[in-house]
Chains A and B, each alone.
Chain A
Amino acid sequence: GAGVSQSPSNKVTEKGKDVELRCDPISGHTALYWYRQSLGQGLEFLIYFQGNSAPDKSGLPSDRFSAERTGGSVSTLTIQRTQQEDSAVYLCASSRGGSSGANVLTFGAGSRLTVL
């Protein structure tokens, strides 16, 4: 697609429920990233995919968080047994990939998660 697409744009859930957030990257972009944006915390890196593999999962805050990517395209971020501190905007980004730190990330509009 023309841009990075994320769904849902807004999700309200009850504490303890599982949620799935979806990211559809720019066509041809092999690298995909998930970040979390919380008020006053800036952007926190969660996980990086190159193709379908995830060489860097260092930012996932707990084992309740997982992500997968299939077909080198769409990615799903799953949060199990949600807690109130999981409330945040989850941002997905994609880039052409490779090891160059100069690659520009293109961000989606985000999925706002509210855990009641």
Chain B
Amino acid sequence: AQSVTQLGSHVSVSEGALVLLRCNYSSSVPPYLFWYVQYPNQGLQLLLKYTSAATLVKGINGFEAEFKKSETSFHLTKPSAHMSDAAEYFCAVSFTGANSKLTFGKGITLSVRP
């Protein structure tokens, strides 16, 4: 069965520093991979998705993620953190034939220090 693992529950960075949030997946078939973000007291919104068109995917708010099959990873990065990036980030996996059901990781809370 497909799954995603997000190591750690909390990441803290300084404003302007690199953001790196890790996600590893497990899937027996080619996966579709997603990052969603949940700002405080808001619903989840899509940051970016990988659907096999290109391994480096750019999303909203300057985030990007790279699909690495050899490492079964889909880590999320942003070169320079902004205070407004503080939120909870979820990695998710799906594949064709699974009625688009997303399987989510447990999420990582990102804090940004001034």
Question: Hey, which bits of chain A sit against chain B, CB under 8 A?
Answer: 4, 31, 33, 35, 40-43, 45, 48, 50, 55-56, 91, 93, 95, 97-110
Interface flags, B88-109, vs A, CB<8A=1, else 0: 0010101111111111111100
A10 to B34, CA, bound (A): 28
* Residues of chain B with a CB closer than 8 A to A109's CB: 42-43
Say whether chain B's binding surface is mostly helix, strand, loop, or mixed.
loop
Q: How many pairs, one residue from A and one from B, have CB atoms within 8 Å of each other in the complex?
A: 74
Closest chain A residue to B31 by CB distance? A101
How far does the Cβ of B38 sit from chain A's closest Cβ, in whole Å? 9
Asked whether B72 is an interface residue with its Cβ less than 8 Å from the other chain, the reply is no
A35 to B46, CA, bound (A): 16
Assess the A42–B106 pair: CB atoms within 8 A: yes
A106 to B44, CA, bound (A): 8
Query: Contacts A41-B106, A42-B106, A107-B45; is A102 near B99 (CB within 8 Å)?
Result: no
Asked whether B80 is an interface residue with its Cβ less than 8 Å from the other chain, the reply is no
Asked whether B14 is an interface residue with its Cβ less than 8 Å from the other chain, the reply is no
How far does the Cβ of A85 sit from chain B's closest Cβ, in whole Å? 18
Beta-carbon contacts under 8 Å, B52-77 to A: none
Q: State how many residues of chain B have any CB contact under 8 Å with chain A.
A: 28
Between A48, A102, A108, the greatest number of chain B beta carbons within 10 A of the residue's beta carbon is seen for A102
Assess the B106–A110 pair: CB atoms within 8 A: no
- Inter-chain pairs besides A98-B100, A101-B94, A108-B43, 10 sampled, C-beta below 8 Å: A45-B101, A45-B104, A48-B101, A50-B99, A55-B99, A56-B99, A97-B100, A101-B100, A104-B49, A105-B102
Question: Hey, which bits of chain B sit against chain A, CB under 8 A?
Answer: 9, 31-32, 34, 36, 42-46, 49, 51, 90, 92, 94-107
How far does the Cβ of A9 sit from chain B's closest Cβ, in whole Å? 10
A112 to B23, CA, bound (A): 27
Question: Which of A31, A43, A98 touches B90 (beta carbons < 8 Å)?
Answer: A43
Assess the A103–B100 pair: CB atoms within 8 A: yes
* Residues of chain A with a CB closer than 8 A to B103's CB: 45
Assess the B100–A95 pair: CB atoms within 8 A: yes
How far does the Cβ of B58 sit from chain A's closest Cβ, in whole Å? 16
